[in-house]
Structure 1
Amino acid sequence: MELGRFSWWVMLVLVQLCINGCFGCLEQEKIALLRLKASFNDPVGYSLPSWNSANQESECCDWEGVKCNITTGRVIQLALNNTGYRTRRDFLYVNASLFLPFEELNYLDLSTNGIQGCIPNEGFEKFSRLSKLEVLYLDYNFFNNSILSYVSGITSLKKLYLRRNALNGSIHIQEFEKFSNLEELYLRENENMDFITLEGSKSLTKLKVLGLSKNNFDARILESSAAIPSLKILNIAGNNLEGSVTTKALRRLNNLEQLYLDRSSINRSILHKAGVMTSLNVLTMSDCGLNGSLPAQGHIPIELCQIVNLMFIELSNNNLFGSIPSCFNSSGIKHVHLKKNRLSGPISSAFQNCYSLVTLNLRDNYLIGNIPDWIGNLSSLSILRLKANLLEGRIPIQLCLLHSLSMLDLSYNNFFGPIPHCLSDITFEAANQKSDLGGLFYYEYSVEKPLDYLETQIGNMRDTSFYSAFPLYFSAFPLVDAKQEVEFTTKSRTYSYAGDILNYMSGIDLSCNKLAGEIPPELGSLGNIHALNLSHNNLTGPIPTTFSNLKEIESLDLSYNNLNGRIPPQLIELTYLAAFRVAYNNLSGPTPDRKAQFGTFDERSYVGNSLLCGPPLHNSCTKTEPPFTMPVNHRGEEGGGFIDIDVFYISFVVAYIMMLLGIVVVLYINPHWRQAWFNFIEECIDTCYCFVLIHCRKLSNFRLV
């Protein structure tokens, strides 16, 4: 009985809460929102148009940038970024007291507003009364170093964003002493020179993410960061990290999982010493100017092999040379980017046991030899880029075992022989694993922004076809510039793919090799492929009619080969085709009907095929040929042939004499050929002699019988 009565009370409370939630935001918070809008003083007057006081029935929880608790109706998130266009002469000064009515506020975004400070006596120190505020965005404003002391009273704060402001000079860790709960701090693109920490400091004891990219820090920042033992992610890309770093300091970063050093001038010794950070799973050092040989042998440091948990390594564009160390054979590594270096030698067994490998990008190096047969063991491989090396040999059929493969780029090498028809066994389907790094990368906007804000900022890009313009879209806004990004040539241009677009992109690029033979008709079964480039080879035969089954194809390049026959008219069924090139072949017959996508292709798609006709080419397929007439002799009678018989006899005799004279001259000049000729004649004489002798004996024996 008591239990039933209690259940009724619980149900009554829930119904009451639901009813209260249905009433929407509180009236006092609605008034506070309207006051906030007025304080922003938008010079253009178009910001926050949905914040309308004229409509008394307007529900403020539905206003742009506002998110309420669905139960209590209290405002919990405010996204007030970019409320109006302002210049450096048109600063905004904030009245922090206007935010105090929002007692349940846990998320506040004031980025990109040209804020230089607060009005007198109404500064951000009043935010200390917002006891539930956890996330504060102040990016892209004009705050100086004093902002740190102003917001230090917000003890509940977990994430603080101060990217691209006017902070400069040195920042001392003691300025964050009151941030007892701070987990993420972002100071990117300021003019900071130093980040001073103290060994054993009790400040920032919960800090996990520190973003200091694009400042003016030197190598001492690594020493300072080592004083924060809780640190897991450190982004110091785009700094001037010259100077030495002790192994002891790097060893103290024993909890560090991700280190970003891209586009920094760094001491090469850091790469040698990175092996002591055994917890690292992401290391990016692209465009760091690591010229020359790293270790004494000229190879990538074997110390990197000590990082047993490494899953993502980015060392591209560093002018490194030597071979890839064979110890680089971790079974857990997923993404390897070593493009645009001077790595040489064959593709070693370094990746033979990397069964989890998803991306192998070795383009633009000096690798030689064949693609090893063990490549077929990399069952998880989705992206293979070996473009612009010195590789040769046949394309191994072991590639056909890579059923997860979606991007294959072997262009600008010396591969010869036929195209393996078994490539059709690969589905080239969309795969999330290409950009899904399994939690490797941390995303700044991990606290979900209000839905209407996201729609305003990036639009409904998931529903927008990327096929036409190839815009870059990321499923989140990453903390760092380093990301899983892959370049691929399609539509005669090179595009960068990342995020969702990378997942859906698929293609084969075998251009600029020495491939021969006919195009396998089986390739027409690759119904999910978006780009196919077989140009600049020695391919022969017709264009397979099965290519009409490439329903998702956007770019098809077969130019600069020796293809012949007609262009299959069925290709007009490829409705997504945006780039089509068959120039400089031996194709003949009419061009495809100018329907659908083929109506957009100009003469450049077909040039270099003298027997092709029809639009957009200038030679028409409907030309009338002149009537054929038999040749007539000088006596006015129709001849029995095309050639005069006397002329034929004379030409034959002259040609015979010239051939004999040519043979005599060659034998006279070249003693080696003369000896070979005499040996051949002698062998022929001996053969004839033996033949005659044997048959004469048989004949005589037959008569005797």
Structure 2
Amino acid sequence: MNVSSLLQSLWTPFPNLETLELRDYHLELLNFTNLEVLILDGSALHIRFLQSIAVLTSVKHLSMRNCYLYGTSDFQGLCELVHLQELHIGYNNIGGTLPWCLVNMTSLRILDIASNQITGNISSSPLRYLTSLEELRVSNNQFQIPISFEPFFNHSKLKKFYGQKNRLFVEIESHSLTPKFQLQNISLSGCRCDFTFPRFLYYQHELRYVDLSHMNLRGEFPNWLLENNKELETLLLANNSLSGFFQMPVNPLKQLTTIDVSKNFIQGHIPTGIGAFLPRLEHFNISRNVLNGSIPCSLHMTMGCFSLQILALSNNSLQGHIFSRSFNLTNLVTLQLDANQFTGGIPENLLNCSLLGGLYLSDNHISGKIPKWLGNLSNLVDIIMPNNHLEGPIPANLCKLNFLTVLDLEVNNISGSLPSCFSSWLLTQVHLSRNKIEGQLEDVFGDILVTLDLSYNRFSGRIPNWIDKLSHLSYLILANNNLEGEVPVQLCLLKQLQLIDLSHNNLSGTIPSCLYKTALGEGNYDSAAPTSEGNYGASSPAAGEAVSPSGSSTMRKEESVEFRTKNTSYYYQGRILKIMFGLDLSCNKLTGEIPFQIGYLNMIRALNLSHNNLMGTIPSTFSHLSQIESLDLSYNMLQGKIPTQLVELYALAIFSVAHNNLSGKVPDRVGQFATFTENSYDGNSLLCGQPLSESCYPNGSPNVSVSNEEDDDNFIDMGSFYITFIISYVIVILGIFGVLYVNPYWRRRWFYLIETYIAFCYYLLVDHLIPPRFCLGNK
């Protein structure tokens, strides 16, 4: 049954129908004059539908979110719905400016036009005259909103305003006017303005939700905002330029649960009375400021913030021990203290945090052993503690963490071998580089592992054949160990592998020719490890956020992987990591020829095969590496010419074939090859041409110019040509004299021929070239 028939059948038995919800339908017939509530969210409507809706004279609540209403806004039909109280037309693609007929909607309480492309200055729009509004949503449009908020000063009923991701501007304020509204919720996040705090907020005393993050607001931290609004629940001021001190109000804020003032310039200490004045605080993020001192005891003592779930103090200059013995944060889910100057060991009182899902202690001075009791925190998802002074082995108790997703202990002094049970079904990232871990690579990892970084350790033995069971592996970093044996062909079965670093080992054998079957050749990188930072105020975790078993999202940072390219080690993360493809087999004992199939790694950006024992020629298929930026083949035993087709590699920034046995002319100095110096070709005595000092034409430039396309086919090595010509000439002369000496008959014939030839030349000269007077004179 189509929608028209459906509505007709409903209209006959239910002429007084008041509420109709038709989501994801295409509406063609409107015949319900008594309808009061109409919800069409997700239906495929045409922009002209807004003109025909005027027949619904009784409708009070109309929702048309995400209904594909493309085109310039035409609200004529809507404007005739004078009894309308709620209008939701967000998440469409409506453009243009708001029509003035909207001023007829004098009963409108809630207006949602968010996530469209509507333009115009709100000061000169009909929104200025809709004084009955209680809630206004204009976020994600192209409005110009005055920072003074003066167009809404007469909206005495206005309680909620959401205008994030529009453009704020300064206009002349009238200091004699004060707003008649008392807002409860305001969001202007993402409206970058570079101004001081909006002045109208000084007059607000009923605020509950404030989101002014990502605006680059300047000036002193607004402690008055805490003092004036006793019912405040959420304060989001992240990513601004606020300075000064963060102070507690005179009276406790018993409703405040979330504070995010990260990425500012707040200085001083964390307020000592924070536990007493903010007793219900659940999310506290003051990271990336310039705080110093220690963590106040009032934050975590028995009478402190016992409801605290997320504590983020990272990237400050805090010091001392992490917590005192008086510790009562039993609801803590995320502890983020990285990039400070904390000392001492991992506090044992964290054992009381049975809900702890994220432990982030990187870049501090934490010492001692990794405690065994960490394995008893069964909800742990992330253990991220790189760049500390931790020592001893990785406790086998960590194998009890069934929800562990990320283990990052790189740049410590960890020793011993890997625990034999790292097969958590959720473990996706293992970062253990730059430690002292030894032993062989055992089959201890689960098959959903995405990143395995064991570089700069003391592992020995072979790269195991079971590596192919890690079917989701994208980043394999095993550099600077004592691994030996061949590069296993099982790597070719890892379809999502995009970074391989096996450099600085003792690997031997040949390079597998099948590596093009990985993501290096196919570009299949959709499953790269998701990474994201926490998002306060979101109803659900953002894509890529880790979620602890307790239900709260952790604050995992973007994953970072170290890889050497362009002669420098870089840390790749986020979107850059997802598009980075590289292969580094340098500083091993590999032999044989470079497989021509390596030229099919069309996604690769960095290829390093230097410092091996590779022989043969450079494959001409390397000209297919259109994305490559760094190519290093130095310190091998390669022979032959450098393929001239390499000049087609327009992204190439670093190129080296130094210290091989290459010969012939170097590629023409065109494109990127015009930037390479003689250092790229050092140690190849038979190479010639610019930028080398050895010329390919010892007697000067050849007379005939050869086109670039024919250069390789018509090129003659002049030195070799002269040597060959002289040798051939000598051989012919010696051959003639040898024959005459051995055979008397041919010797007589040869002298007779010479005598005849001399007589012929004599008479030719006398008869044709000498004047007759010379001949007569002789008579």
TM-score by length of 2: 0.63
1:320 aligns with 2:414: yes
| Alpha-carbon separation, structure 1, partners of 2:450 and 2:505 | 22
Number of the residue aligned with 1:51:
169
**Are the equivalent residues in 1 in contact too, given 2:208–2:229 (CA < 8 A)?**
no
Separation (CA, whole Å) in 2 of partners of 1:315 and 1:639:
79
CA drift at 1:309: 1.4
C-alpha distance in 2 between matches for 1:206 and 1:216:
19
Q: Distance in 1 between the 2:538 and 2:126 partners?
A: 23
Report what 1:394 is aligned to.
486
Give the aligned partner of residue 534 of structure 2.
443
User: What is residue 234 of structure 1 aligned with on the other side?
Assistant: 335
In structure 1, distance between residues paired with 2:301 and 2:409: 32
What secondary structure sits across from 1:221 in the alignment? Answer: coil
Are 1:168 and 2:284 counterparts? no
Identity in percent: 32
Task: Quote the residue 2:258 is aligned against.
Answer: 158
Summarize the alignment of residues 147-226 of structure 1 with structure 2, pairs less than 5 Å apart.
148-149=248-249, 153=253, 155=255, 158-161=258-261, 164-168=265-269, 171-177=272-278, 179=280, 182-188=282-288, 189-195=290-296, 196-197=298-299, 201=303, 203=305, 205=307, 207-212=309-314, 214-221=316-323
Alignment of 1:480-559 (within 5 A): 483-559=558-634
Q: Deviations over 1:665-689 (max 9, x none)?
A: xxxxxxxxxxxxxxxxxxxxxxxxx
Q: Write the distance in 1 (CA, Å) between the matches of 2:640 and 2:600.
A: 21
Counterpart of 1:51 in structure 2: which amino acid?
F
Q: Distance in 1 between matches of 2:432 and 2:233?
A: 45
Choose the corresponding residue for 1:255, options 340, 347, 355.
Answer: 355
Deviation at 1:157, TM superposition (A): 6.0
More RCO (CA 8 Å, sep 6+): 1
**Contact map agreement 1:209 1:233 (CA 8 A) in 2:** yes
Q: Which has the larger radius of gyration?
A: 2
CA distance in 1, matches of 2:227, 2:630: 58
Give, as a single letter, the amino acid of the residue that structure 2 aligns with 1:417: G
* 1:227 alignment partner AA: N
Q: Classify 1:97/1:395 alpha carbon distance in 2 versus 1 (closer, same or farther; 3 Å).
A: closer
Tell me: CA distance 1:150–1:116, structure 2 relative to 1, closer, same or farther (3 Å): farther
Per mean C-alpha deviation after superposition, the further-off stretch among 184-193 and 368-377 is 184-193
**SS of equivalent to 1:278:** coil
Q: 1:230 to 1:96 in 2, by over 3 A?
A: farther
Give the structure 1 partner of residue 211 of structure 2: 107
- The residue type equivalent to 2:16 in the other structure is E
Name the aligned partner's letter for residue 447 of structure 2.
Y
Alignment of 1:75-94 (within 5 A): 76-78=187-189, 83=194
Change (3 A) 1:151 1:506: farther
1:501 CA drift (Å): 0.5
Query: What's the CA shift for 1:445?
Result: 6.7
The answer on whether the counterparts of 1:96 and 1:127 sit within 8 Å (CA) in structure 2 is no
What letter corresponds to residue 693 of structure 2 in structure 1?
H
- What CA deviation, in whole Å up to 9, does each residue of 1:370-395 have, x standing for no partner? 11111111111111101111111111
**C-alpha distance in 1 between matches for 2:728 and 2:650:** 52
State the shift of 1:2 in Å: 2.0
Higher mean alpha-carbon deviation, 598-607 vs 562-571, is at 598-607
Q: Distance in 2 between matches of 1:566 and 1:612?
A: 8
Residues 659 and 683 of structure 2 are in contact (CA less than 8 Å); yes or no, is this contact kept in structure 1? yes
Cα RMSD after superposing both structures: 4.0
Unaligned runs of 5+ in 2: 1-14, 18-31, 36-55, 63-77, 80-86, 90-101, 104-112, 119-124, 132-144, 153-165, 174-182, 540-552, 700-718, 738-779
SS of residue paired to 2:591: strand
Q: Following the alignment from structure 1 to structure 2, what is the Cα–Cα distance between the partners of residues 214 and 95? A: 30
Q: Which residue of 135, 140, 144 maps to 2:245? A: 144
- Greater helix proportion: 1
Q: CA deviation at 1:579?
A: 1.8
- Matched residue type, 1:263: D
SS of structure 2 residue aligned to 1:589: strand
Q: In 2, distance between residues paired with 1:150 and 1:212?
A: 27
TM-score where L is the length of structure 1 = 0.70
Cα separation, partners in 2 of 1:76 and 1:50, compared to 1, 3 Å = closer
Letter in 1 for 2:148: A
User: Quick check: 378-387 or 316-325, which moved more?
Assistant: 316-325
2: CA distance, partners of 1:138 / 1:566 = 56
Q: Secondary structure at the match of 1:392?
A: strand
Taking a change above 3 Å as real, the CA distance of residues 552 and 503 of structure 1, as seen in their structure-2 partners, is same
Given that 2:586 and 2:610 are in contact with CA atoms closer than 8 Å, whether structure 1 keeps it comes out as yes
Report the CA distance shift for 1:198/1:604 in structure 2 as closer, same or farther (over 3 A): closer
1:105, 1:130 within 8 Å by CA — same for their partners in 2? Answer: no
Query: In terms of mean alpha carbon deviation, does 542-551 or 213-222 score higher?
Result: 213-222
- What is the match of residue 511 of structure 2? 419
Give the conservation status (yes or no) of the 8 Å contact 2:202–2:225. no
Deviates further, 209-218 or 278-287: 209-218
Q: Secondary structure at the match of 1:538?
A: coil
What residue number does 2:34 align with? 6
Task: Tell me how far 1:575 sits from its aligned partner.
Answer: 2.2
**Aligned-partner Cα distance in 1 for 2:561–2:305:** 40
Task: Say if 2:148 and 2:171, in contact at 8 Å, map to a contact too.
Answer: no
Aligned residues: 558
In structure 1, the residue matched to 2:741 is none
- Counterpart of 1:431 in structure 2: which amino acid? Y
